[in-house]
Amino acid sequence: MSRHRVEVLIQPRPGLLDPEGKVVHHALDSLGFPGIEEVRVGRAIHLEVDAADAEEARRQVDRMCRRLLANPVTEDYEIRIRAETEEERR
């Protein structure tokens, strides 16, 4: 059993309205940022989960998404097991 850092990205399903994305897009235009083609706003959920291995952690989090975290009608979700990378964090 070890602890796994898992990231879940939840987004409005393509083709469905994303009013928050539209508002952010408009605000960025108003602030003078050019060349923005699309903005979609979703949720990012970070979990630390105890599981036998990464695949078991992924299965657990998949069940959590179906039961609680994501709306299966309007949202898509993506589960990532975090590895240490050269990400930029500020």
Residues binding its own copies (CB under 8 A): 1, 3, 7, 9-11, 21, 24, 27-28, 31, 33-51, 58, 60, 63-64, 67-69, 76-80, 87-90
Distance CA 25, CA 47 (A): 29
From first CA to last CA, the distance across the chain in angstroms is 31
Least distance in angstroms from the C-beta of 3 to its own copies? 6
In the complex, the smallest distance separating the C-beta of residue 78 from its own copies, rounded to whole angstroms, is: 5
Q: How far is the CB of 64 from its own copies (least distance, A)?
A: 6
Helix H, strand E, coil C: the string for 59-73 is: HHHHHHHHHHHCCCC
User: Which pairing describes strands 75-81 and 2-12: parallel, antiparallel, or unpaired?
Assistant: antiparallel
Q: By C-beta, is 38 or 84 nearer to its own copies? A: 38
Contact 40, 12 (CB under 8 A): yes
